[in-house]
Amino acid sequence: MSATLLQIDFPFAGPWGADLAAACDGLARDIAAEPGLRWKLWTENQEAGRAGGIYLFDDEAACLRYLDKHRARLAGFGVTDIAAQVFAVNPALSALTRAPL
């Protein structure tokens, strides 16, 4: 089974940092329960006004299911300019560079 990485970012006006962590606690718990998700890194760039995440899934099918779900969720929040990219992971090279696979 090959891991699949998902990178998402979108326009975001805040909150940031600890305030974002407090506001998104329930969302984070829901994402953590997503089938096939190994982990997520939450990303934020206050200067650019963008936020999102980097996700590692067990496989492409789980990744694409989540991407559809998350796009719909973001659209429900009024977010439309969503940048998403899906990548296959090279496990041999990633192991050499200490990736948490």
Question: 58-61 long-range contacts, Cβ below 8 Å, gap at least 24?
Answer: 58/1, 58/3, 58/4, 59/1, 59/2, 59/3, 59/4, 60/2, 60/4, 60/86, 60/88, 61/36
Res 1 pLDDT > 90: no
CA distance 58 to 38: 7
The enclosing domain of 10 has a CATH number of: 3.30.70.100
Any domain includes 24:
yes
- Whole domain around residue 21: which residue ranges? 4-96
Any domain includes 53:
yes
Mean pLDDT of 77-99: 94
Res 63 pLDDT > 70: yes
Res 101 pLDDT > 90: no
pLDDT digits over 24-50, tens only?
999 999 999 999 999 999 999 999 999
Q: Which pLDDT belongs to residue 80?
A: 87
Any domain includes 39:
yes
* Mean pLDDT value across the chain: 95
Stated pTM of the model: 0.92
Any domain includes 18:
yes
Any domain includes 101:
no
Domains of the chain: total: 1
User: Peptide bond preceding 15: is omega within 30 degrees of 0, i.e. cis?
Assistant: yes
Question: Whose CA is closest to 39, among 69, 74, 5?
Answer: 5
Q: Which pLDDT belongs to residue 22?
A: 97
